[in-house]
């Protein structure tokens, strides 16, 4: 079964001693014959553009890795022109980290950045959690055509996930924190599995755990395959 992980990263992890090297990420993905979206942690913790350049320089598609850009709206409008042609640079999506960087979804510079990104319809990945965050994202997603992949939804706001994905077709949910025992079955019953995208958080988090959430569920083999790769491919309109 093809596996594409929409949530990996590499580089130096400053919050505790951890092996989050590119080599470790490659080893993990290779051991599961998986491919992955990835970005340099430098872009999250230090400087987005320097991190994006590192992502483009260090990863190769031959390794099954696809580059993801990032931008920190706290720096807006510094280097804003960099994100105007991300597709041409080779990026498949752009990821934002409001919780790690301490800004809110309704932060005005973020809205300006989304407007720029709407010009080329690039998928927008947002790492966030907490009640109401997804609801705020849905207000933005309603006004643009970009797909939004939300990372960080868990048992506590699964109700918000169900409510939002039923209303908006450009909201996708990344799977690694769908942690209640029946989360996928619940989503199938009350919303849809068509916009659930596999992600792991590797190498900081356990790829095995994220995979087992899907494989050990009671979903059909087709439904598992869709989550593990096909839903993402359909969203992007390309085979990975």
Partner 1 sequence: MIIDVHCHFGSWPFAMDNFGVDRIKEYLDRFNVTKAIFSSSKAIVYDFREGNRELIELLEKDDRLYGYLVLNPNYLEESIEEVNRYLDNEKIVGIKLHPAYSRVSIDDEKTKKIIEHFLDTKLIYLIHTWGIPMAIQLTKIARQFPNVRFIMGHTGGDVWYDCLDIVKPYPNIYVEPCSSYADRDKLRISIDTVGIERVLFGTDFTLINPSFVTGMVECSGLTEEEKARIYYKNSIKLLEGGKNA
- Which one of residues 101, 206, 225, 236 is an interface residue with partner 1 (CB under 8 A)? 206
Whichever of 48 and 184 has its CB closer to partner 1, that residue is: 184
Supply the angle between the helices 133-141 and 158-167 in degrees, to the nearest 10: 10
Instruction: In whole angstroms, give the CA distance from residue 206 to residue 217.
Output: 17
If one asks whether residue 21 binds partner 1 (CB under 8 A), the answer comes out as no
If one asks whether residue 108 binds partner 1 (CB under 8 A), the answer comes out as no
Whichever of 123 and 152 has its CB closer to partner 1, that residue is: 152
- Which one of residues 19, 23, 143, 169 is an interface residue with partner 1 (CB under 8 A)? 19
Task: Work out how close the CB of 170 gets to partner 1 at its nearest, in angstroms, rounded to a whole number.
Answer: 22
Task: Work out how close the CB of 190 gets to partner 1 at its nearest, in angstroms, rounded to a whole number.
Answer: 8
If one asks whether residue 211 binds partner 1 (CB under 8 A), the answer comes out as yes
If one asks whether residue 204 binds partner 1 (CB under 8 A), the answer comes out as yes
Q: Residue 6: what are its φ and ψ, rounded to 5°? A: -85, 5
Task: Work out how close the CB of 216 gets to partner 1 at its nearest, in angstroms, rounded to a whole number.
Answer: 5
Task: Work out how close the CB of 230 gets to partner 1 at its nearest, in angstroms, rounded to a whole number.
Answer: 21
- Which one of residues 58, 104, 116, 162 is an interface residue with partner 1 (CB under 8 A)? 162
If one asks whether residue 47 binds partner 1 (CB under 8 A), the answer comes out as no
What is the per-residue binding string for partner 1 in 174-193, x denoting contact by CB under 8 A?
A: --xx-xxxxx--x---x---
In the chain, how long is the greatest CA-to-CA distance?
48
Label each residue of 36-72 as H, E or C: EEEEEHHHHHCCHHHHHHHHHHHCCHHHCEEEEEECC
- Which one of residues 36, 73, 199, 203 is an interface residue with partner 1 (CB under 8 A)? 203
Closest by CA to 153, choosing from 128, 135, 181, 172, is: 128
- Which one of residues 156, 167, 222, 238 is an interface residue with partner 1 (CB under 8 A)? 156
Sheet strands side by side (includes 148-151): 3-10, 34-40, 65-70, 93-96, 124-127, 148-151, 171-174, 196-197
Instruction: In whole angstroms, give the CA distance from residue 3 to residue 28.
Output: 12
Residue 220: exposure state from Cβ atoms within 10 A (0-12, 13-18, ≥19)? exposed
Supply the angle between the helices 158-167 and 183-190 in degrees, to the nearest 10: 30
Whichever of 106 and 208 has its CB closer to partner 1, that residue is: 208
Instruction: Give the residues lining the site for partner 1 (CB under 8 A).
Output: 16-19, 154-156, 158-159, 161-162, 176-177, 179-183, 186, 190, 201-213, 216
């Amino acid at each position: 079964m093809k596996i594409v992980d929409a949530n990996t990263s590499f580089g130096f992890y400053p919050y505790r001693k951890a092996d989050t090297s590119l080599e470790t990420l490659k080893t993990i993905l290779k051991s599961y014959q998986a491919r992955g979206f990835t970005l340099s942690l430098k872009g999250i913790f230090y400087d987005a553009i320097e991190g994006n350049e590192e992502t483009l320089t260090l990863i190769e598609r031959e390794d099954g890795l696809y580059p993801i850009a990032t931008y920190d709206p706290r720096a807006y409008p510094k280097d804003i022109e960099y994100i105007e042609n991300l597709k041409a640079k080779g990026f498949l999506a752009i990821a934002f980290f409001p919780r790690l960087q301490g800004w809110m979804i309704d932060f005005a510079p973020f809205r300006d950045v989304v407007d720029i990104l709407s010009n080329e319809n690039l998928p927008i990945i947002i790492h966030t959690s907490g009640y109401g965050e997804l609801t705020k994202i849905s207000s933005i997603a309603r006004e643009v055509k970009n797909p939004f992949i939300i990372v960080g939804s868990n048992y506590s706001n699964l109700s918000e996930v169900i409510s939002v994905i039923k209303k908006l077709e450009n909201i996708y949910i990344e799977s690694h924190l769908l942690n209640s025992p029946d989360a996928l079955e619940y989503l199938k019953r009350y919303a849809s599995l068509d916009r659930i995208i596999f992600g792991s958080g590797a190498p900081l988090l356990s790829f095995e755990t994220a995979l087992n959430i899907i494989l050990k569920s009671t979903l059909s083999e087709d439904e598992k395959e869709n989550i593990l790769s096909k839903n993402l491919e359909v969203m992007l309109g390309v085979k990975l």
